[in-house]
């Protein structure tokens, strides 16, 4: 009886060790799925972006080709790392979730560096500096003078964006879109379905220029929230992050990022940090 009991305990111990090892291996596998070593072995980096955010990630008219400021940065990055690149297009709100679940290796979609996001993901060195502006109706500025006037107004945007957080903090009613194009956002403000779009200065100016006939303008007095944008990787994926930062530094130094910025932002160099007074 004692002998049988000893054998049984030994078997239980072996099974326990096997179970712990298997679980640990599974976790390590999930953790390393998006490492630089895994990407290099795969020969391909998988990048998440929206494909609808002009001029950072969009499709040329009547074309399936994905391009844009950050898309071209990612293409150049992959080229310098000597790997192929595959883009997965998805709404902004799904990018960080897909990153942490291992569906994509990196994400880039005008994603701002924040302390809150740093707790969940890791950021590359910034390559774009900007600040917030507001698109409102041209004829009456949507009845808004400052951000404090947003209470009761309808603010259009993505649920998890920094700009929607600012709208909520100032009492606006949020109107959420599922990966909609700029035109949808802008027309809704023009016709009064919504009242305001809080977003990045450079994106707003270009969006506005694309639809000059709409009853919209950038508010002349609202300028706030200086920001820095970067590529995002899974939390503590430091080997991949080091590779990305190494290449971004070279691209800054050899003028590649400035050249891409001027091509997509109407000759503006978004890689230069501004020194303004903000609200």
Asked whether this chain's domains 36-127+230-264 and 129-226 adopt the same fold, the reply is yes
Of the two residues 28 and 169, the one the predictor is more confident about is: 169
Q: Over the stretch 104-127, which tens digit does the pLDDT of each residue have? A: 999 999 999 999 999 999 999 999
Give the pLDDT confidence score for residue 180 in this predicted structure. 81
**Residue 11, pLDDT above cutoff 60:** no
**Residue 223, pLDDT above cutoff 80:** yes
pTM score, two decimals?
A: 0.75
CATH class of 129-226: alpha beta
Query: Domains of the chain: which residue ranges?
Result: 36-127+230-264, 129-226
Mean pLDDT of all residues in 64-82 = 97
Mean pLDDT of all residues in 57-66 = 89
Domain 36-127+230-264 sits in CATH at 3.40.190.10
Of 154, 158, 177, 279, the C-alpha closest to 220 is: 279
Looking at the chain, the whole-number percentage of residues with pLDDT higher than 70 is: 88
- DSSP states of 49-73 as a string? E-S-BTTTBEE-TT---EE-HHHHH
User: Among 98-102, 142-146, 176-180, 214-218, which stretch is predicted with the lowest mean pLDDT?
Assistant: 176-180
Strand partners, 5: none
With tokens 């844009």, the residue in question is 68
Q: What is the mean pLDDT of the chain?
A: 89
Alpha helices (H) along the chain:
2-32, 36-42, 69-81, 92-100, 115-118, 162-169, 182-191, 201-210, 238-253, 256-264
* pLDDT band, very low/low/confident/very high, at 273 (cuts 50, 70, 90): confident
């Amino acid at each position: 009886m004692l002998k049988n009991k000893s054998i049984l305990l030994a078997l239980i111990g072996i099974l326990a060790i096997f179970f712990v090892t298997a679980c640990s291996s599974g976790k390590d596998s999930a953790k390393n799925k998006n490492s630089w070593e895994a990407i290099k072995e795969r020969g391909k980096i998988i990048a998440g972006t929206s494909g609808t955010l002009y001029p950072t990630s969009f499709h040329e008219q009547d074309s399936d080709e994905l391009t844009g400021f950050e898309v071209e940065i990612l293409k150049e990055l992959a080229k310098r790392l000597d790997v192929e690149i595959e883009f997965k297009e998805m709404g902004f709100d799904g990018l960080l979730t897909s990153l942490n679940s291992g569906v994509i290796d990196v994400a880039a979609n005008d994603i701002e560096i924040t302390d809150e996001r740093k707790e969940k993901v890791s950021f590359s060195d910034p390559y774009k500096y900007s600040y917030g502006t507001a698109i409102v109706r041209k004829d009456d500025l949507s009845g808004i003078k400052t951000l404090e006037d947003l209470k009761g107004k309808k603010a259009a945007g993505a649920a998890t964006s920094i700009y929607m957080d600012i709208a909520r903090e100032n009492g606006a009613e949020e109107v959420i879109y599922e990966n909609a194009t700029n035109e949808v956002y802008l027309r809704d403000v023009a016709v009064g379905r919504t009242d305001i779009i809080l977003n990045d200065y450079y994106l707003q100016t270009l969006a506005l220029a694309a639809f000059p006939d709409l009853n919209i303008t950038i508010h002349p007095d609202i300028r706030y929230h200086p920001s820095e944008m970067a590529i995002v990787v899974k939390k503590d994926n430091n080997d991949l992050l080091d590779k990305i930062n190494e290449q971004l530094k070279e691209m800054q130094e050899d003028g590649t990022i400035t050249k891409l910025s001027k091509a997509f932002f109407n000759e503006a160099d978004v890689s230069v940090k501004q020194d303004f007074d903000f609200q």
